[in-house]
Amino acid sequence: MFLALTIGLLVAGGVYLVQQRGLVRVVMGMQLIAHAANLMILTAGVGELRGEAFPDRADLDVAGDPLPQAFVLTAIVISMAITSILLTVAAVGRSDDTEVQDPVAMSGRRPVRSPLSTLGRSTRTTADERAHEEAVAEARAEETANWKSNKPAWELPPAGEPTDQTPKGDR
């Protein structure tokens, strides 16, 4: 009866914590539920108090089954690994979407922007950027034309002079 009550309290506390807003509370709630599951496995695997599973200390007929204990030990190791990963995520990922700033508390202060935020930034290019892009495009076009002519660079005419490949209207 005592173990059943303990398991019930652990599950109730775990469910309460999982429904909370903070990630650390959710992690602790998952830990409580995992401990309740471990106690449930031990309770289901051991019907009555039995002896140790060592042949030199007790007879094997009265020895307890070590399999539920091995399952619980494995579950404890796995739950601790998951807990450490979740707590790392909670520590690193502080900027979650569930955190709402009070507008009254924010009055008088400007909100701090993340350097990764693109909200409100102009996506239009400036005249300098356009001029640079046009110069790069012209250089690439000239380089491509020189490559297509299969002539070495020293045999090519200087830039701006008409060639055989220049259209007649541009000469």
Sorted by where each begins, the domain ranges of the chain are 1-92
Residue 157 scores a pLDDT above 70: no
pLDDT at 138: 87
Q: In the prediction, which pLDDT does 147 show?
A: 64
The closest of 115, 121, 73 to 95, measured between CA atoms, is: 115
| Better-predicted residue by pLDDT, 8 or 165 | 8
pLDDT at residue 42, as a whole number: 84
Mean pLDDT rounded to a whole number for the chain: 76
- Pick the more confident residue, 170 or 89: 89
Q: Say how far apart CA 149 and CA 141 lie, in whole Å.
A: 12
Where do the DSSP E strands lie in 1-105?
none
pLDDT tens track for 27-83: 999 999 999 999 998 888 766 666 676 777 777 777 777 788 888 999 999 999 999
Question: What is the maximum alpha-carbon separation in the chain?
Answer: 109
- Looking at the DSSP assignment, which residues form a beta bridge with residue 63? 51
- In the prediction, which pLDDT does 35 show? 94
Helix (H, G, I), strand (E, B), or coil: what is residue 23? helix
Amino acid type, 93: G
pTM beyond 0.75, yes or no: no
